[in-house]
Amino acid sequence: MIDPAARALLDLMVQRGVPPAHTLTPDEARSAYLERRSFTQPAPPDVASVRDETGGPVPIRVYRPLGADAGAALPALVYFHGGGWVIGDLDTHDTLCRELANGAGVCVVAVDYRRAPEHRFPTAVDDCSAATRWIAAHAAALRIDPKRLAIGGDSAGGNLAAVVAIAARDAGDLPLAYQLLIYPATDQRAASPSHITNGQGYLLTSDSVAYYRAHYLEREADWLDWRGSPLLHEDLSRLPPALVLTAGFDPLRDEGAAYADRLAAAGNRVAYVCFERQIHGFILMGRVLDEANAAVALCAAELKRALR
């Protein structure tokens, strides 16, 4: 059964005539996504400090948690926001980054990677890899511990985090301590059963999946590139421990589960949790969905445990 609160939210969106993302231009979809946060997201909690940093290859926003020693080198989470590689930004995920910083007691560094269609694949991958490397190289200035550096993201951001982890392993010079993969997109072919059973009526539709993919991946051949579909990489061994979180009424559910299974089969430490009653994007909706707050608490607890 779908969470009654999620069902009520979906029904309200229909009643109010909220247009699906795939019917909007990218700029219109970005504005609509940003505006919705005031209705569905909790108030942003206070943190010790927030600052924007533009000195590196990609703009970032750095959060330090409440109670942190100003000079302490904290464990850190490099976070890539969701939004289908097209929408979403530092502001749409500001509350979540604050919650994770405080809940896990870590420094969260959110990455403002360039979005499609203005910047198509693999620009977002390159930006996220470059930003993660810059953050590790400037750990002392950022007051973080480079030996306790995690990466994470939701949806498209989970895709980018998975890809950065593989690329870092292959390069051999950027050790990462953990992966937080929240309903990640892992297979651009969009052929798993959940794309059919959950393809209509649950916020993220098959039409919107195709919309985002078409803006991000210019050629169908790119669907098979592991930088777009990390599930298709032939070797998923020797990767950082991971938490993979999915939602039961999400088109991406099965590919997230498949990625967790392949990580585990390749010998990695993996925890997999499916919030069976939830929809795609739910972790941002703590004002209206209680299970969103439970999911944030779980992610924070696992980060804290992994990076302690």
Maximum distance among all Cα pairs of the chain, rounded to whole angstroms: 52
Contact 215, 116 (CB under 8 A): yes
pLDDT of residue 285: 98
pLDDT of residue 205: 98
Q: Which of 127, 145, 154, 250 is catalytic?
A: 250
Q: pLDDT tens per residue, the chain (308 residues)?
A: 999 999 999 999 999 999 999 999 999 999 999 999 999 999 999 999 999 999 999 999 999 999 999 899 999 999 999 999 999 999 999 999 999 999 999 999 999 999 999 999 999 999 999 999 999 999 999 999 999 999 999 999 999 999 999 999 999 999 999 999 999 999 999 999 999 999 999 999 999 999 999 999 999 999 999 999 999 999 999 999 999 999 999 999 999 999 999 999 999 999 999 999 999 999 999 999 999 999 999 999 999 999 98
> Rounded to whole angstroms, how far apart are CA atoms 305 and 308?
5
pLDDT of residue 113: 98
250 tagged catalytic: yes
> Rounded to whole angstroms, how far apart are CA atoms 97 and 80?
10
- 212: nearest Cα among 258, 275, 281, 152: 281
pLDDT of residue 219: 94
Q: What is the mean pLDDT of the chain?
A: 97
**Dihedral angle computed from the Cα positions of residues 281, 287, 290 and 296, in that order, rounded to the nearest 10 degrees:** 60
Domains of the chain: 4-307 (3.40.50.1820)
pLDDT of residue 213: 98
Q: Which of 129, 155, 208, 229 is catalytic?
A: 155
Q: How many CB atoms lie within 10 A of CB 139?
A: 17
Q: Which residue reads 């979540």 in tokens?
A: 96
pTM above 0.85, yes or no: yes
